[in-house]
Amino acid sequence: MHKPRMQLLASFDIAYLQYLDERGSPTQVLPDFATADSLCRAYRQMLLARLVDGRAVKLQRTGRLGTYPSSLGQEAIGVGIGSAMQASDVYCPYYRETGALLERGVSIEEIFAIWGGDERGQNFQRAPHDLPICVPIASQILHAAGVAFALQYQNASQPLRVAVTCAGDGATSKGDFYEAINLAGVWKLPLVVIINNNQWAISVSRNAQTAALSLAQKAIAAGIPSLQVDGNDVIAVHWAVNNGIERARRGEGPSLIEAVSYRLSDHTTADDASRYCPQSEREAAEKLEPLGRLKQYLCSQGVWSSDHQIALEEELAQVLERALRHYNHAPKDAPNALFDHLYARLPEAFYDQYDNLLNCSESHS
């Protein structure tokens, strides 16, 4: 068979970043921002996210919250993202975002309200420019591209702000993902996309989704620089997201970061991961989880001890109990609010339903 002579058109590399290995030992010199104070704060925020997650699952099991998606084992991704952003940047979240929301100033009560069915929880008091949680897979990446275009358009007379969005590995199999990053690449939008590769899109494993060696390489077709990081290393996540944001702020366009982690929980409280997730795989992943890793490093540096741990757990338990009391005693929203929060102008087809719901709520008040 004739074999034609071909010339190499282009070649690409995907880099991998890690600062702390699975034992909490540095793999290289840590960046300047990774001070003892900043890392102790990161540990606090990751532990808080884990405690909020655990309480939310218990609230759902007792009928006080709706379906809830835990971020167990992925706290370094959320905290790393939120801590790298400035208050003026715009976050376009998906649903597995407890750590990032807490970093953005969203209160625990607001998080509980969201999953308790009260849309007022999405009116973030300390992050008013951030978008509400997006449950449909990958659509938030399109929203983020639109926000990034608006920020770019408005940039003539103000410092550049950046849109940041996060999505699960399953989102990279959706057309919305490709459309958004293609647009961002062509228009050099100030956008940073983080892929939380927790290995499972509900019950579909990452290997069943794509034959790509990495998810980061999917950005190559869009002309976007990309990087794979250890998603259990909060230092690496923070560095990568901060680097992407600063690139975008300088007008150098978008970037994509794949943070490799593992979902140590069910997909949501409506799921049973034991039906499809091998127990041996999960047990191996538990040894890599982010809180233990950072704690080991802090202990090795002499800035953390069992006394620090006990004091922090007691402090956060009080924080959580106060938030829970506020959530339990908050006045309930009216049932017709489900229409009010959805429509700027109620479609005529819903007039009767709205009136019936309003009358029903008044009769039970």
- Is 96 assigned a catalytic role? no
> How high is the mean pLDDT of the chain?
95
Q: What is the secondary structure of 149-206 as a DSSP string?
A: HHHHHGGGGSPPP-EEEEEEGGGGGSHHHHHHHHHHHHHT-SEEEEEEE-SEETTEEH
CA distance 72 to 78: 11
- Per-residue pLDDT reduced to its tens digit, 175-217: 999 999 999 999 999 999 999 999 999 999 999 999 999 999 9
pLDDT band at 364 (very low <50, low <70, confident <90, very high): low
Contact in structure between 217 and 13 (CB atoms under 8 Å): no
Q: Which of 104, 161, 267, 293 is catalytic?
A: 267
Exposed, middle or buried, 175 (CB in 10 Å: 0-12/13-18/19+)? exposed
- Where is pLDDT greater, at 269 or 341? 269
Relative to beta strand 163-168, strand 90-92 is parallel
Which tokens belong to 272? 């049973």
- Is 329 assigned a catalytic role? no
Q: Considering only 95-104, 151-160, 230-239, which range has the smallest mean pLDDT?
A: 151-160
Query: What pLDDT, on the 0 to 100 scale, is given for residue 156?
Result: 67
Residue 92: closest CA among 143, 41, 168: 143
Domain ranges of the chain: 16-333, 334-365
Query: What pLDDT, on the 0 to 100 scale, is given for residue 253?
Result: 96
The single-letter DSSP state of residue 17 is E
pLDDT band at 338 (very low <50, low <70, confident <90, very high): confident
pLDDT band at 332 (very low <50, low <70, confident <90, very high): confident
Distances from the Cα of 317 to the Cαs of 16, 51, 124, 322, in angstroms? 36, 8, 23, 9
- HSE-CB at 227 with a 13 A cutoff on CA atoms is 19
Q: Give domain 16-333's CATH architecture.
A: 3-Layer(aba) Sandwich (3.40)
Q: Which of 263, 293, 297, 327 is catalytic?
A: 263
pTM for the predicted model, two decimal places = 0.94
Is 334 a residue whose pLDDT tops 90?
no
Residue 173: closest CA among 144, 197, 149: 197
The single-letter DSSP state of residue 91 is E
- Is 276 assigned a catalytic role? yes
CA distance 88 to 130: 9
Query: What pLDDT, on the 0 to 100 scale, is given for residue 329?
Result: 93
> What are the φ and ψ backbone dihedral angles of 72, each rounded to 5 degrees?
-55, 125
Query: What pLDDT, on the 0 to 100 scale, is given for residue 155?
Result: 81
Q: Which of 16, 23, 61, 276 is catalytic?
A: 276
Stretch 108-135: mean pLDDT: 94
CA distance 352 to 60: 32
Residues 6+ apart with CB under 8 A from 199: 169, 205, 206, 261, 262, 263, 285
Which tokens belong to 60? 């759902």
